[in-house]
């Protein structure tokens, strides 16, 4: 049975491939490795993102060599960069750098080096109205580029109630990106159409979240958001969490075999266009 972690990070200074070996030993078979900012590469201009992305691509290749896990990569300018760059670069240069970072990510998708664009979005912390508007502008660009590249986006935003899901869905509509091609990372169990407006929830795999999601249906994926930070071992959830949680849900009768097959096979295959065998 395939078991996918829909959102995991690895760092050169962290566990790296050893974390993925933990995932594999627990029964994990597929992972979406998401880019995050790395130490040692400071963003001053847009092309600096290419150097950052290469670190993610190199980590993924190392994992493929040393495990049998199928590793897919999402690339994009991390949402916090707008706020982080605003004062040092100024508004115009910040937007230019972010937009170029989005274009480079889309280029790597078209070259087959990345699966999709992510995690992109807007800050989950308070920012000025100007930074908020700029973040929305870059997020919409990422969605448009995903539409053009025929790929999926993973979004990072503030905690999402129905009104946030609706806003994001309408943003996707405005650039012609299918709503189900927008994956909301770090999601709670908002798996009903009335809650998520057709976007796709990637549910953070706490026991309570997964039980609540499974009680509503099977239209979701599971993630750990493991951040591979030596200062916070196991945060947000440890690499083995998704396979262990899935097996526990099956043993407890909370997941049926059909539910597990949808969560880890049918939906990832459809949303990302990947082989889940």
Look at the chain and count its residues. Answer: 277
User: How high is the mean pLDDT of the chain?
Assistant: 96
- Each of the 277 residues of the chain gets a pLDDT tens digit; together they read 999 999 999 999 999 999 999 999 999 999 999 999 998 899 999 999 999 999 999 999 999 999 999 999 999 999 999 999 999 999 999 999 999 999 999 999 999 999 999 999 999 889 999 999 999 999 999 999 999 999 999 999 998 688 999 999 999 999 999 999 999 999 999 999 999 999 999 999 999 999 999 999 999 999 999 999 999 998 999 999 999 999 999 999 999 999 999 999 999 999 999 999 8
According to the model, what pLDDT value does residue 40 have? 85
CATH of the domain at 23: 3.20.20.140
Q: State how far the Cα of 102 lies from the Cα of 96, in Å rounded to an integer.
A: 10
pLDDT of res. 277: 86
The pLDDT > 70 percentage for the chain reads: 100
User: Among 124, 166, 114, which Cα is nearest to 145's?
Assistant: 114
The boundaries of the domain holding residue 112 are: 4-272
Per-residue pLDDT at 161: 83
CA 55 – CA 72 distance, rounded (Å): 14
pLDDT at 4: 98
Report the alpha-carbon distance of residue 39 to residue 31 in Å, rounded.
23
In a domain, 25, yes or no: yes
Q: CA angle at residue 159 from 154 to 164, to 5 degrees? A: 80
> At 56, is the secondary structure helix, strand, or coil?
helix
Which stretch of DSSP H or E encloses residue 70? strand 70-75
* Nearest residue to 34 (alpha-carbon basis) of 83, 4, 71: 71
3-state secondary structure 139-199: HHHHHHHHHHHCCCEEEECCCCCHHHHHHHHHHHHHHCCCHHHEEEEEECCCCCHHHHCCC
Total domains, the chain: 1
* Residue 76 phi, psi (nearest 5): 175, 160
Determine, yes or no, domain membership for 81: yes
Strand, coil or helix: 271: helix
3-state secondary structure of 121: strand
Tell me, yes or no, whether 277 lies in a domain: no
Tens digits of per-residue pLDDT, 38-48?
988 999 999 99
**Do residues 104 and 46 touch, judged by C-beta distance below 8 A?**
yes
From CA 120, how far away is CA 117, in angstroms rounded? 7
pLDDT in tens, 46-85: 999 999 999 999 999 999 999 999 999 999 999 999 999 9
């Amino acid at each position: 049975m395939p078991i996918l972690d829909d959102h995991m990070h690895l760092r050169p200074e962290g566990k790296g491939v050893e974390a993925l070996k933990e995932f594999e030993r627990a029964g994990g078979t597929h992972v979406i490795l998401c880019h995050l900012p790395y130490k040692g590469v400071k963003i001053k201009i847009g092309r600096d993102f290419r150097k950052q992305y290469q670190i993610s691509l190199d980590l993924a290749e190392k994992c493929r060599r040393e495990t049998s896990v199928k590793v897919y990569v999402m690339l994009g300018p991390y949402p916090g960069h707008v706020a982080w760059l605003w004062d040092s670069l100024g508004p115009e240069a910040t937007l230019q750098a972010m937009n170029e970072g989005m274009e480079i990510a889309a280029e790597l998708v078209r070259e087959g080096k990345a699966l999709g664009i992510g995690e992109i979005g807007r800050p989950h912390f308070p920012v000025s109205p100007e930074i908020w508007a700029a973040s929305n502008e870059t997020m919409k660009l990422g969605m448009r580029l995903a539409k053009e590249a025929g790929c999926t986006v993973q979004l990072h935003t503030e905690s999402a109630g129905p009104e946030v899901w609706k806003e994001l869905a309408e943003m996707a509509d405005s650039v012609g990106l299918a709503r189900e091609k927008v994956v909301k990372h770090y999601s709670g169990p908002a798996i009903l159409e009335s809650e998520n407006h057709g976007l796709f929830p990637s549910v953070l795999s706490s026991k309570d979240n997964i039980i609540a999601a499974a009680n509503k249906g099977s239209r979701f994926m599971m993630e750990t958001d493991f951040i591979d930070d030596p200062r916070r071992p196991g945060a947000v959830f440890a690499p083995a969490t998704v396979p262990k949680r899935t097996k526990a849900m099956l043993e407890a009768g909370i997941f049926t075999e059909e539910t597990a097959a949808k969560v880890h096979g049918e939906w990832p295959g459809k949303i990302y266009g990947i082989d889940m065998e």
